[in-house]
A and B are shown apart, each in its own frame.
Chain A
Amino acid sequence: GIQVEQSPPDLILQEGANSTLRCNFSDSVNNLQWFHQNPWGQLINLFYIPSGTKQNGRLSATTVATERYSLLYISSSQTTDSGVYFCAVDSNFGNEKLTFGTGTRLTIIP
């Protein structure tokens, strides 16, 4: 099946810093989503982005499907950005299912 790798596994930053999270995937995809799992365990959908670039406030994402990677940018980090960020993909072949990466744990220090 498709492999999804995220880097870095852990990131500790001070409030106000910017960060870039990376997601590499091993095959062509129908769907790519970025999720934020907050400290309460909720999985919040950030972006549906199988290709191209999207922005939502301080967050933006870019997926280069031909090179099989996606980047999530967080600018001017706030403590509420802390949590685990997951990249998940749905490959072009076989039954539709979302395969998750192992996540990046982001900790924002005041």
Chain B
Amino acid sequence: DTAVSQTPKYLVTQMGNDKSIKCEQNLGHDTMYWYKQDSKKFLKIMFSYNNKELIINETVPNRFSPKSPDKAHLNLHINSLELGDSAVYFCASSRQGRGYTFGSGTRLTVV
């Protein structure tokens, strides 16, 4: 059973398109996150949700909109994709005292 699963694994799309990445966790964690890993491998938080409520929004362009229909799901929608959005996006979940678990990542390539 995959603890944090995200789809798709790979996404190649043209500039200007709108795309979504989905994430689900079956760990019963209360908090979920989106992280972005750039070409230099640096990992930085984008958003966090706790029980469907947005907690952190780290200076991310408003073309990025997270949505949490319930505490087990956190999706990421990106409008008007730009070349600079190419990166690997990781979903994660956490529970206090138990640490964070990451999904396997979605490699987004904008052409």
Contact = CB atoms under 8 A, between A and B. Distances in A.
A41 B45 contact: no
A48 B44 contact: no
Interface string B39-63: 0011111001010000110000000
Q: How large is the interface on B (under 10, 10 to 19, 20 to 34, 35 or more residues)?
A: 20 to 34
A41 B48 contact: no
A96 B48 contact: yes
Contacts of A100: 42-44
Contacts of A37: 41
Question: Looking at chain B's contact residues, is the secondary structure mostly helix, strand, loop, or mixed?
Answer: strand
A97 B105 contact: no
B105 A96 contact: no
A64 interface: no
Question: Looking at chain A's contact residues, is the secondary structure mostly helix, strand, loop, or mixed?
Answer: strand
Nearest to A84: B41
Contacts of B102: 35, 43, 45
Q: How large is the interface on A (under 10, 10 to 19, 20 to 34, 35 or more residues)?
A: 20 to 34
Interface of A: 30-31, 33, 35, 37, 41-43, 45, 48, 84, 86, 88, 90, 95-100, 102-103
30 contacts: A30-B96, A31-B100, A33-B100, A35-B102, A37-B41, A41-B88, A41-B105, A41-B107, A42-B105, A43-B90, A45-B100, A48-B98, A84-B41, A86-B43, A88-B100, A90-B100, A95-B48, A95-B56, A96-B31, A96-B55, A96-B96, A97-B45, A98-B33, A98-B92, A98-B100, A99-B45, A100-B42, A100-B43, A102-B41, A102-B42
